[in-house]
A and B are shown apart, each in its own frame.
Chain A
Amino acid sequence: AGSASGKDEL
Chain B
Amino acid sequence: MNIFRILGDVSHLLAMIILLVKIWRSKSCAGISGKSQVLFAIVFTSRYLDLFTNFFSIYNTVMKFVFLMCAYITVYLIYGKFRKTFDNENDSFRLEFLLIPVTGLSFLENQSFTPLEILWTFSIYLESVAILPQLFMISKTGEAETITTHYLFFLGLYHALYLANWIWRYQTENYYDQIAVVSGVVQTIFYCDFFYLYVTKVLKGKKLSLP
A binds B: yes
Give the Cβ gap from A5 to chain B, nearest Cβ, in Å: 6
Are B60 and A1 in contact, CB atoms less than 8 angstroms apart? Answer: no
Partner of A10, one of B64, B111, B117: B64
Q: Majority SS of interface residues in chain B?
A: helix
Chain A residues within CB distance 8 Å of chain B: 1-5, 7-10
* 9 smallest beta-carbon distances between A and B, as pairs: A8-B56, A4-B117, A2-B177, A1-B177, A10-B63, A4-B116, A10-B9, A5-B54, A1-B178
| B111/A9 in contact, CB under 8 A | no
Q: Is the CB of B120 within 8 A of A7?
A: yes
From B57, B67, B112, B116, A8 is in contact (CB under 8 Å) with B57
Number of A-B contacts (CB under 8 A): 35
Q: Could you jot down 26 A-B contacts, CB within 8 Å?
A: A1-B175, A1-B176, A1-B177, A1-B178, A2-B175, A2-B177, A3-B111, A3-B112, A4-B111, A4-B112, A4-B114, A4-B116, A4-B117, A4-B120, A7-B50, A7-B54, A7-B120, A7-B177, A8-B56, A8-B57, A9-B165, A10-B9, A10-B12, A10-B60, A10-B64, A10-B67
A7 to B12, alpha carbons, bound, how many Å? 18
Minimum CB distance partner of B56 in chain A:
A8
Q: State whether A9 touches B63 (Cβ < 8 A).
A: no
Q: Tell me whether B5 is interfacial, beta carbon within 8 Å.
A: yes
Number of residues on chain B facing chain A (CB within 8 A): 24
Q: Is the CB of A1 within 8 A of B67?
A: no
Answer whether residue B17 sits at the interface, using C-beta atoms and an 8 A cutoff.
no
CB of A6, distance to nearest CB on chain B (Å) = 9
Query: Does B180 interact with chain A (Cβ within 8 Å)?
Result: yes
Residues of A within 8 A of B120 (CB): 4, 7
State in angstroms the CA–CA spacing of A5 and B165 once bound together: 19
Q: Which residues of A contact B175 (CB under 8 A)?
A: 1-2
Determine the distance from Cα of A3 to Cα of B163 in the docked complex, in whole angstroms: 19
In Å, the complex CA distance between A1 and B165 comes to 15
A1–B111 CB distance below 8 A = yes
Map CB proximity to A onto B30-72 as digits: 1 under 8 Å, 0 otherwise: 0000000000000000000010001011001001100100000
